[in-house]
Amino acid sequence: MSGVLRPVAASLIVGGVLLLAMVVASGRAAVTLPAEARIPVHVGSVEHRYLVSKRAGLVIWPAAGAVLFGVVGGITRSSLAADWVPGVRDVLTPAVMGVALAFQIGALALARRPGEQAARPEPAGSPR
């Protein structure tokens, strides 16, 4: 039984490191982004994003990562995942955290673009 928990524990450690990377990315952006920067928060796609203030965006992304880490990490360690294929339990948390980190880095890159602050995509199907 202990052999099964070791890979899951390793995946939680990797997920925690990725969460730490999200905090570090926000810290770096706090120093490098201008005060008036607007950070996009994605809700599915480009058409569903909101530009929030620099401070809010730098808090929202790591907070979302922490919630994801807690939920997915908790599920993979719980009895709910007892019958899952071991490979899924081993890679689910790092995969989810890697995707969250990638989305955060993309949002911070968009916040650095000069025209991004005013540019906002029109919803699909809207008249021009």
Tokens linked to 115: 């025209």
What would the two tokens of residue 87 be?
Answer: 């490979």
Contact call for residues 77 and 12 (beta carbons, < 8 A): yes
**pLDDT tens, 1-55?**
455 557 778 888 999 999 999 999 999 999 999 989 999 998 776 677 888 999 9
Q: What is the pTM (predicted TM-score) of this model?
A: 0.80
For 1, 14, 89, 99, the CA distances from 50, given in Å and listed in that order, are: 46, 30, 33, 19
DSSP 8-class letter at 88 = H
- Which token pair is 125? 């199907």
Identity of the residue numbered 120: R
